[in-house]
Amino acid sequence: MSDTEEAVAVEQPVVKKGKTGKYRKEKPWDTDDIDHWKIEEFKPEDNKLSFTEESSFATLFPKYRENYLKEVWPHVTRALDKVGVACVLDLVEGSMTVKTTKKTYDPYIILKARDLIKLLARSVPFPQAVKVLDDGISSDIIKIGNVTRNKERFVKRRQRLLGPNGSTLKAIELLTKCYMMVQGNTVSAMGPYQGLKEIRRIVIDCMKNVHPIYHIKELMIKRELAKDPKLATESWDRFLPHFKKKNVKLNKKPKPDSKKKEYTPFPPAQTLSKIDKQLESGEYFLKDSEKKARDMAERKQKQQETTVKRKAEREKDFIAPKEPVQKKSKNTKE
């Protein structure tokens, strides 16, 4: 019996794995405490060779930023030299340029430098704008000028982003962990990617007549829900507020009562054309010379009427006013 058992054990078919599990092997080095979304610092040792081509970006700045940029430009040059990027300030054309050099080792730093000069052009102060060179911090410039055509409506909705004494702006910055600045027709934002996404949604909805307070309430609820680890794998829709749109009806003028016309099977009479009208009046059969003579006569008649009116208006000033007649009193002695 032992021999037969061994034979059965040998003859058992081997279960083959499918194609999906062919390359799926255990990874003992991949543990739960590893943050896969962490951006590793790019060091000069990672890229020892210099770039073969030069990359450059340029942006224009408004006239009122010229004095500030002249004062701050030495600090900008110093900050970009540390990462191996050259910068040029052209006051004649009113432009700022950044470009790679032989010392540049990070291929993405030129895009960060481009964002830096864009933020400086949009009135962001240098101590804040230079933070965009750090890893994990990005920038977004949101255009709001073309959302609404009415200028008064645009100014009111833009003011909602600031709020009374800047309280709404401060609340948005605290909840999104981003820096935000409203300037002219743009909104400049700096911070982590998730926060920039929220700020763009808040700004665009605000310009479309959705008050920022609704988004602020939603972000506050999400922040509290994120603290609970039990809700990490559940949907938060039941906790978030759902606001209904209310269309405020304006006091429109009442329409006049349109009486229904009586039905007639006959179509309306055709309107007379220009030639038909000339045929009725007999003008169609007149010669060109007769038409010119008639037009001249009408013109002279109008001229005579206007001259008579003007003459009467001029003569008004020369007409003597009526003098008051003094009535004789009865008490006068003869």
What is the spatial distance between Cα 138 and Cα 190, in angstroms, rounded to a whole number? 6
Name the token pair of 46: 């990672």
State residue 13's pLDDT score. Answer: 47
Band (297; pLDDT cuts 50, 70, 90): very high
* Distance, CA of 266 to CA of 259 (rounded, Å): 19
pLDDT in the model for residue 261: 78
The span from the CA of 281 to the CA of 260, in Å, is 36
Name the architecture of domain 136-242: 2-Layer Sandwich (3.30)
Residue 6 has pLDDT above 80, yes or no: no
- pLDDT at residue 316, as a whole number: 83
Tell me the C-alpha to C-alpha distance, in Å, between residue 309 and each of 44, 64, 106, 300.
95, 60, 88, 14
Which pairing describes strands 56-60 and 85-90: parallel, antiparallel, or unpaired? unpaired
Structure tokens at 301: 């008649």
Q: Which stretch of 66-75, 85-94, 146-155, 262-271 has the lowest confidence by average pLDDT?
A: 262-271
CA-based nearest residue to 202, from 237, 153, 157, 257: 157
Q: What local confidence, expressed as pLDDT, does residue 122 receive? A: 92
Percent of the chain with pLDDT over 70: 87
Outline which parts of the chain fall under CATH 3.30.1370.10: 41-135, 136-242
pLDDT at position 257, please?
61
Residue 8 has pLDDT above 70, yes or no: no
* Residues 218/220/122/143 CA torsion (nearest 10 deg): 0
Return the higher-pLDDT residue of 58 and 240: 58
Does 7 have pLDDT greater than 60? no
Is there a contact between 87 and 113 (Cβ–Cβ < 8 Å)?
yes
For strands 179-183 and 186-191, give the pairing.
antiparallel
Q: Which of 116, 144, 153 is nearest to 132 (CA)?
A: 116
Query: For 125-151, what is the mean pLDDT?
Result: 92
pLDDT value at 176 more than 60: yes
User: Is 195 a residue whose pLDDT tops 50?
Assistant: yes
Interior CA angle at 198 toward 192 and 200, to 5°? 100
Q: Which of 205-209, 266-270, 312-316 has the highest mean pLDDT?
A: 205-209
Q: What is the mean pLDDT of the chain?
A: 85
**Burial class of residue 207 in the structure, from the number of CB atoms within 10 Å of its CB (0-12 exposed, 13-18 middle, 19+ buried):** buried
**What topology does CATH give the domain 41-135?**
Ribosomal Protein S8; Chain: A, domain 1 (3.30.1370)
Instruction: Identify the pLDDT of residue 192.
Output: 92
| 41-55, 170-184, 296-310: the lowest-pLDDT one | 41-55
170 vs 316, which has greater pLDDT?
A: 170
To the nearest whole percent, how much of the chain has pLDDT over 90? Answer: 48
Does the pLDDT of residue 81 top 90, yes or no? yes
Over residues 205-259, the pLDDT tens digits come to 999 989 999 999 999 988 888 888 888 778 888 888 777 766 666 666 666 666 7
Which of 91-100, 192-201, 241-250 has the weakest average pLDDT? Answer: 241-250
Closest CA relative to residue 110, chosen from 123, 121, 97 = 97
**Global confidence as pTM:** 0.62
Report the C-alpha gap between 194 and 37 in whole angstroms.
12
Residue 314 clears pLDDT 80, i.e. is over it? yes
Looking at 188-287, list the stretches that DSSP marks H as alpha helix, in order from N- to C-terminal side.
193-207, 212-226, 274-281
